[in-house]
Amino acid sequence: MANIRIVLADDHAVVRAGLRNALTGRQDLDVVAEVGNGPDLLAAVRELLPDLIVIDVAMPDFEPVSAVRTFKTEYPAMRILVVSAYADEGYLVGLLGAGVDGYHLKDQPLADLQLAVQRVIEGERWIPAQLVDRLVHRQPAAPRATPALTRRQRELLRLLMQGFDNRKIAQAMDLSVKTVENHLTSLYRSLAVESRLEATNFAMRYPEVLRDPDPVGVTPETNTEGLLTVLLVDDNPRYREQMARLIGKTHPLSKVVEAGDIADALQLTERIHPHLAFVDVVLRDEDGIQCTRRIKAASPATRVVLISAYPDREFRRLGFNAGAVAYLDKKDLDVAAVRQVIQDTLGSMSEPGH
């Protein structure tokens, strides 16, 4: 029977040496690679296809929750054992939810590590007894008020949940890495957490923190004359910000809410029933035409304008079939075009039945 092939991942060479010594004491275990950061781990897994990875969650350039989910999707047979210094049930719950097979504490005897590996390889879960006890006796968290995050903080938290590192966040939000670091500090303070993993766990536990606040006094029943609710659905936060400014400049009595994907768009649609929605045809891996169809099903009176950087005739046909009232090229969206769309929407609101 072939030996179990293991990749060790920890940013401290001394720790890796201790782990290696503990594991190579068994003849059926082979440590085939050692790495010290996230990118090197990903490269080693893809090249070597190990049976087990033993990882520290606090490595540089490594987002544990998203990485574990990726590994479990791409390599479902591979087992994952976390070896961590954090005896925190919050970390444990988050990582177990992501799909890790075991969680071992660094302050435990190295002999226990061999047992942890054995159990994980056999398909069992490994959790230290002291953490099991904490989980069993864990008290339900006391209800807490959902912190009011700014629009930028909500966008930042969404990107954290997708596993973006600071560099990718900076690119997505058109900010410097230093500015992102400052915003992260502010976000952690608002959430009363201390790390990316804790922030992600918080958002998973309290998903309402990601929702845009209800527009005050803006519903189809309470609108004052000329007041317009507009939904922007685009996966590029910088473009949404530009569009929001353009709409505000064109029609100051607009209340703009934003969504980066279909799920957020439908949540907002069902809550506020916007008068107008601008929807990008391509939403990362999602379909803006399908988003249009679902918005119209949830709020038939909403006028949907599809926007795209790809002026494709077939997209246009499918969009109109889905219920869109217009299909516009992004490069043609200027003050005049937006003003015309808003005027058409305001005109439709004055018609009988609206």
In a domain, 222, yes or no: no
Same domain, residue pair 174 and 98: no
Q: Which two tokens stand for residue 150?
A: 């700014």
Q: Which of 181, 210, 239 is the last residue of a domain?
A: 210
Same domain, residue pair 245 and 187: no
Same domain, residue pair 101 and 33: yes
Query: How many domains, in total, are found in the chain?
Result: 3
In a domain, 334, yes or no: yes
| pLDDT per residue as tens digits for the range 41-100 | 999 999 999 999 999 887 888 878 778 888 988 999 999 999 987 776 666 777 887 789
In a domain, 63, yes or no: yes
Same domain, residue pair 77 and 171: no
| pLDDT per residue as tens digits for the range 242-280 | 888 888 888 877 888 888 888 889 988 988 899 999 999
The pTM (predicted TM-score) of the whole model is 0.48
Same domain, residue pair 245 and 195: no
What is the Cα–Cα distance from 330 to 257, expressed in whole angstroms? 19
Range 166-174, long-range pairs (CB < 8 A, 24+ positions): 172/236, 172/237, 172/238, 173/237, 173/238, 174/237, 174/238
Please report, for the domain that includes residue 18, its CATH number: 3.40.50.2300
Please report, for the domain that includes residue 156, its CATH number: 1.10.10.10
The β-bridge partners of 277 are 231, 304
In a domain, 243, yes or no: yes
In a domain, 111, yes or no: yes
Range of the domain at 262: 228-349
Coil, helix or strand at residue 121: helix
Looking at the predicted structure, is the pLDDT value of residue 215 above 50?
Answer: no
The β-bridge partners of 105 are 84
Same domain, residue pair 184 and 249: no
